[in-house]
Amino acid sequence: MRKALSSFVGLGAVLWLLLGLGFSLGSGAIIESTIEDNRAIEASFQKTAAFVEQFRRDHSRLPNDDEFKDWSGRQPFANYSPIYMELLTDKFPEGVVENFGAPPTLGYVVSYWRGEWNEYYASWTEKSSLIFDASEYYVLGSPAIDAATVIAIFAMLCFAAVKLWSATIPSLDD
């Protein structure tokens, strides 16, 4: 039983190393692609906000849903186009208020559905929920630190496997 447990821990250590290093070192291109997509979404947020601000100056109010859809429907069809944006003028999602603070009168949020979650642009902060800093995508802030941590845990698991293999534990002995 002891040797089987040791083998299981050793196999777990190897899987941990392969998966951990793969994720921490192999994710750089994916993260750069995500940041590039974020820049395109941010540009669309800015274009949408410019429309809403101009509408507010011209009409002393925010556009209603039909007016916004009319404008967004006339935008070029492309990835992350304002066509896919939603204008929220009241009843903001709880996370928006938590992240951006309470909205002022005539504050609005532009929302973009990412496929798994929404990204938001809040007019009163002129900021979005998008992440542009690659370090925020790593558990410990960088691929090198993440990889070093994976290797350290791998070493501890290997040490545990060797100790289990060579230890005399009456309740676990074969």
Q: What is the pLDDT of residues 100-145, one digit of tens each?
A: 999 999 999 999 999 899 999 999 999 999 999 988 887 777 776 7
What is the secondary structure of 95-148 as a DSSP string? HHHHHH----TT--EEEEE-SSSEEEEETTTTEES----GGGGSTTSSHHHHHH
Alpha-carbon span 36 to 131, nearest angstrom: 10
80 phi-psi bin (left φ>0, alpha ψ -120 to 50, beta other): left
| pLDDT tens profile 15-27 | 767 777 676 666 7
Contact 112, 105 (CB under 8 A): no
| pLDDT tens profile 41-97 | 999 999 999 999 999 999 999 999 999 999 999 999 888 999 999 999 988 998 999
Residues 6+ apart with CB under 8 A from 71: 51, 55, 63, 82
Residues 6+ apart with CB under 8 A from 67: 55
